[in-house]
Amino acid sequence: MIPEFDKLSSSEMELMLKGPILACILIAGADDHIDNKEIKGSIELAKNKHKDTKGSPLAKFYLMVVEDFEDKLKVVLQSYPVDSTKRNELITHELAGLNELWPKLDSNFASEYYKSLREIALGTAESSGGLLGIKSVGEAEARVVDLPMVKDPTQH
């Protein structure tokens, strides 16, 4: 297990592991439609995050996250309502729960995790191509791409 999770309950660990998937689903579904480009983009992002974090506090974390990422993403997505408004409301509330975990985590790990979530959100938004189809963020994604429900742990 990840040493940084020692102070977390099993449900809190699950939320941490689900965080990148929830960010992907929230951003991909912000425009009422989750397309295959966004799913594929999210999968690639997760794999790249694992490569990018080697030697960082997030290395073990992303090793766990990328394992069967596509299957995990699909299972998590199916557990939420199809209606994007209801789904996004539930995911927003769930992601906001991360704010309560920051004090229980090593500050460096929490900060890296937070930055990583925001990078995943932006990468997912860019993967769908936005309005021009070239790494742009669509209007619906722009409203949530900064994950305003998740507070910067360094600001606590």
CA distances from 40 to 36, 46, 63, 142 (A): 6, 10, 18, 20
Q: Dihedrals φ, ψ of 121, to 5°?
A: -60, -45
CA 64 to chain centre: 14
The predicted structure's pLDDT at residue 136: 58
Q: What is the pLDDT of residue 142?
A: 67
Per-residue pLDDT reduced to its tens digit, 124-139: 887 765 545 555 566 6
Q: How far apart are CA 81 and CA 1, in angstroms?
A: 31
End-to-end Cα, the chain, rounded Å: 26
Distance CA 28, CA 141 (A): 8
Write out pLDDT tens, residues 67-93: 888 888 889 999 999 898 999 999 999
Residue 121: pLDDT over 70:
yes
The token duo for 26 is 């929230």
Contact present, 154 and 144 (Cβ < 8 Å) = no
At what angle are helices 69-78 and 10-28 packed, to 10 degrees? 80
For residue 46, name the pLDDT band (cuts at 50, 70, 90).
Answer: confident
66 falls in which pLDDT band (50, 70, 90)? Answer: confident
Query: Which has the higher per-residue pLDDT, 28 or 13?
Result: 13
Residue 91 CA to residue 121 CA, distance in Å, equals 13
